[in-house]
Amino acid sequence: MAIFKIITNEDPILRKQSKKITVVDDRSKKIIDDLFDTLYNTDTGVGLAAPQLGILKQIIVIDTGEEEPFALINPEIITSEGEKDSEEGCLSCPEDYGLVKRAERITVEALNEDGNPVTIEAEGFLSIVLQHEIDHLKGILFIDKATPVTKDKQV
Ligand SMILES: [Zn+2]
C-alpha cells in the first residue's frame, strides 16, 4: 500500500501529456493500486489520474460511490453528446471551485486493469468525472475551462 502526495496545480507536470501504456503488466497494476490507495486517503475524491501522483501514464481510477470502483488504461472519449454545466473541484486545486461546460453523455473506449478492451457509456455524474479525469491525462485542469474560478468554498 502506498499513499502518494497529490501534486497540486503549481507543478508543471500536471500540464504535460501522459503517455499511453503499451503493455499492461504488474507496473500498471501497481500504479492502479497506488491511485486507489491515494484516492481513498482523501475525504472527498471520486477519481484520480496518474499524473496527479507525478506519473505521466494514461491511467485513471474512479469511485463515485454509484458503481463498482474501476480503473481505465488509455481511455479515449469516442462520442460526446449534449451539454451540461458541472460544478467542479479537483484534488490538485484544493481551494478552487468553478462551473465547467461538459458533455452530457459520452462513450469511452479503454483497457481495463487486465488489459482487456472495454467500452463505457456514461451520463450524469459518472460522465463528468470521466471527462475531468481524462482531461488530466492531456495536461488540462478544470480551472482552465471553469468560469468563474473562486477561491472561496461556497457551500
Ligand atoms: Zn482533478
Per-residue confidence (pLDDT) for residue 152, from 0 to 100: 61
- Cα of 134 to ligand 1 centre, how many Å? 9
- Cα of 26 to ligand 1 centre, how many Å? 25
- The strand order across the sheet containing 47-49 reads 47-49, 59-62, 70-81, 105-111, 117-123
CA-to-CA dists, residue 102 to 13, 28, 36, 87, angstroms: 24, 29, 25, 10
How many percent of the chain have pLDDT more than 70? Answer: 97
Per-residue confidence (pLDDT) for residue 153, from 0 to 100: 56
Checking if the pLDDT of 148 tops 80, the result is: no
Residue 128 gets the label, from left (phi > 0), alpha (psi -120 to 50) or beta, of alpha
67, 81, 113, 133: the catalytic one is 133
Per-residue confidence (pLDDT) for residue 150, from 0 to 100: 78
Domain ranges of the chain: 12-150
| Owner of C-alpha cell 484544493 | 94
CA-to-CA dists, residue 106 to 88, 125, 131, 148, angstroms: 18, 11, 8, 25
Q: CATH for 12-150, among 3.90.1150.10, 3.40.50.300, 1.10.20.10, 3.90.45.10? A: 3.90.45.10
- Cα of 123 to ligand 1 centre, how many Å? 18
What tens digit of pLDDT does each residue of 39-85 get? 999 988 999 999 999 999 999 999 999 999 999 999 999 999 999 99
Predicted TM-score (pTM) of this structure: 0.95
- Cα of 115 to ligand 1 centre, how many Å? 24
Checking if the pLDDT of 122 tops 70, the result is: yes
Per-residue confidence (pLDDT) for residue 155, from 0 to 100: 45
Residue 114: half-sphere exposure toward Cβ, Cα within 13 Å: 3
Checking if the pLDDT of 149 tops 80, the result is: no
Contacts of residue 115, Cβ cutoff 8 Å, sequence gap at least 6 = 24, 73
What tens digit of pLDDT does each residue of 75-107 get? 999 999 999 999 999 999 998 999 999 999 999
- Cα of 95 to ligand 1 centre, how many Å? 12
133 is catalytic: yes
Residue 102: half-sphere exposure toward Cβ, Cα within 13 Å: 27
Q: What are 148's three cell numbers?
A: 468563474
